[in-house]
A and B are shown apart, each in its own frame.
Chain A
Amino acid sequence: MKTPIYLDYSSTTPCDPRVVERMMPFFTDAFGNAASRSHAFGWTAEAAVEEAREQVAGLIGAHPKELLWTSGSTEANNLAIKGTAQMYKQKGMHLITAVTEHKAVLDPMKYLETQGYKVTWLEVDAMGHVDLKELEAAITDETILVSLMAANNEIGTMHPIREIGAICKKKGTLFHTDATQQVGKAAIDVIADNVDLLSLSAHKMYGPKGVGALYVRRKNPRVRLTSQMDGGGHERGMRSGTLNVTGIVGLGEAARICREEMDSEAAKLSILRARLQDRIYKELPDAVLNGDADNRLPHMTNISFPYVEGESLLMGIKEIAVSSGSACTSASLEPSYVLKALGLVDELAHSSIRFSLGRFTTEEEVDFAADRLITEVKRLREMSPLWEMVQEGVDLSQVKWTSH
């Protein structure tokens, strides 16, 4: 077993070797510009791009013509949100989202607020779910778009997008979902789920970085966008710029593999995750699971280790690559806004670790990671004044702290 062990697949995934192999010719021999209509180099590239479009469309139940290539999910989210907001301005200037969305949704929404749009920011419950009645009540005749992610990137909680889609359809507003974390990991079907716009990214599903796609519904209703990138009129004018043919081919192949292997992979990963969790809970019974234990992505778990600070814990387990909800490295000292939105008390929000398993994770790695983590949590607790206070029977919420 090689260290460090990678348990941060929600941040990015390695390229599957099959993806790399498929991409290789497009760097050298088949290097043509997909927009070149006058020679074979262009035709080859275009054919490869269209094959990839079919592969990605197949994974989410879309028609190939409904996909636009982008540089990734951030661009797809920006295009979906700003593009519909500008296109449908006449209808109204209201959008709805939730406070636990990724920054690539929150920040475009905040930008729109500066442009005179009104945004409703839905709160979430302790598991990360929005209240569907509250969502429905928030939609008015002036609402252009509801943007709610399929699965959360920090805790893995899956929104009931089928129900959300049905509500949006009933109320006559568009529904965008940032499905970056879910596509390729758990099923999603834009028709059955009533999704109008969907963002996805290659590097979260064993494809290359720097490429993604936006699904834009073509009928019932036909969704139109104001382009955010103007130029040569690529992608039917909605996203100009020479296509990243190599990356798109990689995304296509990654999607093909996910479509074929997603079910068996999800089953394997949820078993490995249970193994990880069980081992941790056995030794650290006061560890706390963050998010929805049932409705969440199969490969992720986010656990708080009370009385131990996340960054110091990461420092102690440097053979294991994971993420922490603590943001002590940033100037703000604010813990994760997602965990705060769940209502976590500060000492739990600062103590969380996100484990995300993936295609190449082994049982041996999971056991090693759990054991290292348990050892380090115990060591740091011996050093923690909070742990000592709790052992002495002090209620931490009643302590008057000297904030700085």
Chain B
Amino acid sequence: MAYSDKVLDHYQNPRNVGSLDKESNDVGTGVVGAPECGDVMKLQIKVSDDGKIIDAKFKTYGCGSAIASSSLATEWLKGTSVDAAAEIKNTQIVEELSLPPVKIHCSVLAEDAIKAAIDDWKAKNGKKTEEK
């Protein structure tokens, strides 16, 4: 299958690969997906006292599009606020990376990972997750 240049770039030069201390209170960790589906994403955010994401890291087991989706997500997360991060939609990732229909689930997974990381951070810091 043909990959877009942006997917190839993120795959070859992934941004922000790594881990943050998951025990730390200012770090939120989201792990989504399952080995049986061929994708597992771990996404972490480090949040400052004023609710700003000062660092983001990922590790992904999955196809090139899954790696690119999570790499892109960390780029977008860094420097933004937790509230703005919660608004990131998978469709934005699909558009940015020109993902084909069979790879849309990769972007959904990235959105889920962002939300899971935010929820984890909120839970640690006594903040209630907003009801949707």
Contacts and interface: CB of A to CB of B under 8 A. Distances in A.
B36 A401 contact: yes
Nearest to B42: A385
B102 A330 contact: yes
A401 B62 contact: no
B116 to A, nearest CB: 8
A interface SS class: loop
Interface residues of A, number: 31
Contacts of B31: 385, 402
Interface residue range, chain B: 20 to 34
Tell me the interface secondary structure of chain B in the complex: mixed
Q: Which of B31, B36, B42, B116 has the most CB of A within 10 A?
A: B36
B84 interface: no
A99 B21 CA distance: 46
Contacts of B35: 345-347, 350, 386, 396, 401
Contacts of B62: 309, 312, 328
B63 A315 contact: yes
A283 B63 CA distance: 23
A307 B33 contact: no
A343 to B, nearest CB: 14
B33 to A, nearest CB: 6
B108 interface: yes
B61 A309 contact: yes
A342 to B, nearest CB: 15
List the 10 closest pairs (A to B, CB-CB), nearest first: A401-B34, A346-B36, A385-B42, A347-B35, A311-B63, A385-B59, A315-B64, A403-B34, A350-B38, A384-B61
Interface of A: 307-312, 315-316, 326, 328-331, 333, 335, 345-347, 350, 382-388, 396, 401-404
13 contacts: A309-B39, A309-B61, A315-B64, A333-B38, A346-B34, A347-B35, A350-B38, A383-B14, A383-B59, A383-B61, A403-B34, A404-B32, A404-B37
